[in-house]
Structure 1
Amino acid sequence: MQRLVSMISMAAILAAAGGSMAATPDPHAVLAEVGRITSANGIDEARAVEIGGVQQWITVRGRDRRNPILLVIHGGPASPELANRYLFEAPWTDYFTVVEWDQRGSGKTYELNDPAKVAPTLSKARIVQDAEELTAYLRRTYHRRKIFVMGHSWGTVVGLSLAERRPDWLYAYVGVGQIINMQAGEKAGYAHTLAAAKKAGDQAAIQELTAIAPYPDTDGTIEPEKIGTERKWSIRYGGLTHGRTSFDYWENAERISPDYSEQDFKAIDQGSGFSLPKLLPDLAKVDFDPMTRAGCPIFIFAGRYDETTPSEPVQAWFQRLHAPKKRFVWFENSAHMLYAEEPGRVLVHLVEDVRPLAVKAGDTAPN
């Protein structure tokens, strides 16, 4: 009865306002309105800024400007997470001012610039420099001594490099699906995926995976076609998202994003096709094993079932690492997509383990 009364009341209100309950709203608009920051001291900005000589797209969102800044560095290369932030990010904005950044050659940033101009600049070193310049911009614009940085997948290469270069600018670095030694990680992931295919008796997978052996190549090369084959079957056997056999759920969510239009959605694939071949050689050479000391606190969030960036090389490195503070956190129900797989636990560890470092420094008001 209460539900019926509520529906009648809502119908009367809508009728009086000239609206209709029968109208089918645009999901982009609905999600944008639901996610809009309305608090008096909040911030909700989206704009292009010039970083490294090109226009790069950022959003800055939080419910209290006193909160510390959390710069999120997406994976890929060229797989922006802004399009999916509505799935998991809203609770973060209670505790952080969250900055999403579409990197050089990715998503909205890809659309803003002439690819012919950007192509010669695409490298790991240039994107790390972009991250440093963006951090300087955020510190200057929002009057902060330090910020938090969180990288995911490829973004951990950029983020950990930034932590090496500018530890004095960071309260802490958080690696989600961390890459330490790309060669070792790819070998481990390939072995796990092939073993899963053999256990399942999947002859198609076994045939395609054995055909790309040795993987990576003996000279350390990671060919785009080969990594595509490995990822195809890794996804099939839950190495990207635990318990799922495809990535459709994530890509379908991008299509109704409040931050991405249909054209922006197409730019994700365009940017990936543009960037991956240029950045893959740099990615193949990534090796943080010689890094035994960090100048800022280091947190690692690792999915127990992650075969996209397997944790074996990361654990070995982490045990040797000396840092002002460090913590390795296992996510027992996740593979590589922790934000979507265990969003509540990600939030808890960000709030309970990471954020207090800013509060302790006296740079933000505790909630």
Structure 2
Amino acid sequence: MAEMGGDPHRLTAEQRATYDKLTVASDPLTLDTLKKVVLGSLWFSPLHSLRELGQYFAGMKFSAQLTPALAAFDDRADGTRFELPFFVFQGDRDVITPAGRARAFFDEVEAPAKEFALIEDASHFASFRHPDRFLHLMLTRVRPVLAEAVRA
């Protein structure tokens, strides 16, 4: 990253794609989660077929086409004030979206309700790595906010 410049918003699309691939490949937790949990669930689940595994890879290849637009994406361009609840639940060891950057953005957000939580021992795929913890956050932090909104 140092050779490419410290600010990820200044990376070219090709640099960002390379950075993301190298980061995922060099982080044991992210790579393990991707291989065992994401791909493993497609490979071994009776609910999925080999064709769907192929569709996963086709989707990843298609997503790479979006990289030029994502490279220029400014998460603050549309402002940081939202009229709806705002939640960030992510892995404490996320190397793609580091917790510090996510927290900094979260702190700038103004919303009627907002919650931030880190899922321990998880990386970029936190909801897949620890679905029980993610579900707990959804039930204890999101559900009450939505239930209150429905009552109002």
Class of the TM-score when normalised by the shorter of the 2 chains: 0.7 to 0.9
Cα offset for 1:281? Answer: 0.8
More helix by percentage? 2
Question: Is residue 289 from structure 1 mapped to residue 76 from structure 2 by the alignment?
Answer: yes
**By how many angstroms is 1:362 displaced?**
4.2
Map 1:49-68; keep pairs closer than 5 Å: none
AA of the residue aligned to 2:11: G
Structure 2 counterpart SS, 1:328: strand
The alignment yields a C-alpha RMSD, in angstroms, of 2.8
Quote the sequence identity (%): 24
Note if 1:222 corresponds to 2:13.
Answer: yes
List alignment gaps of at least 5 residues for structure 1: 1-189, 192-212
Please name the residue that 1:308 is paired with.
Answer: 96
Amino acid at match of 2:25: I
Residues 24 and 96, structure 2, Cα contact 8 Å, conserved in 1: yes
Which amino acid is 2:140 matched to? E
Aligned to 1:353: 141
Residue 236 of structure 1 and its aligned partner are, at CA, apart by 3.0
Q: Could you tell me whether the CA contact under 8 Å between 1:235 and 1:247 is conserved in 2?
A: no
> Counterpart of 1:248?
35
Within-5 A mapping of 1:313-352: 313-352=101-140
Aligned length: 148
Find the structure with the greater CA-based Rg.
1
CA 292–351 in structure 1, closer or farther in 2 if over 3 Å, else same = same
Q: 1:237 offset after TM fit, Å?
A: 2.5
**For each residue in 1:102-160, what CA deviation from the matched residue of structure 2 results, as whole angstroms up to 9, or x when unmatched?**
xxxxxxxxxxxxxxxxxxxxxxxxxxxxxxxxxxxxxxxxxxxxxxxxxxxxxxxxxxx
TM-score under structure 1 normalisation?
0.36
Aligned partner letter, 1:283: L
Shift of 1:232: 3.6
Greater relative CO (CA pairs within 8 A, separation 6+): 2
Give the whole-Å Cα distance in 2 for the aligned partners of 1:325 and 1:267. 37
Find the counterpart in structure 2 of residue 96 from structure 1. none
In 1, are the aligned partners of 2:9 and 2:71 still within 8 Å (CA)? no
Residues 287-307 of structure 1 show CA distances to partners (whole Å, capped at 9, x for unaligned) of: 122422011010111211100
- Which residue does the alignment assign to 1:235? 25
Q: What do the CA deviations read for 1:180-214 (whole angstroms, capped 9, x no partner)?
A: xxxxxxxxxx46xxxxxxxxxxxxxxxxxxxxx32
Q: Choose from 35, 41, 53 the match for 1:265.
A: 53
Amino acid at match of 2:94: D
Q: Hey, which of these two has a bigger chunk of strand by percent?
A: 1
Match of 1:146 in 2: none
Cα deviations by residue, 1:253-280 (Å, 9 ceiling, x for unpaired)? 211234432122212212322x134211
- Partner Cα separation in structure 2 for residue 276 and residue 321 of structure 1: 27
Please tell me whether the aligned partners of residues 301 and 330 of structure 1 are also in contact (alpha carbons under 8 angstroms): yes
Task: Give the partner amino acid of 1:344.
Answer: D
CA distance in structure 1 between the partners assigned to 2:23 and 2:85 by the alignment: 35
TM-score (norm 2): 0.79
What amino acid does structure 2 have at the position aligned with 1:222?
A
Secondary structure in 1 aligned to 2:116? strand
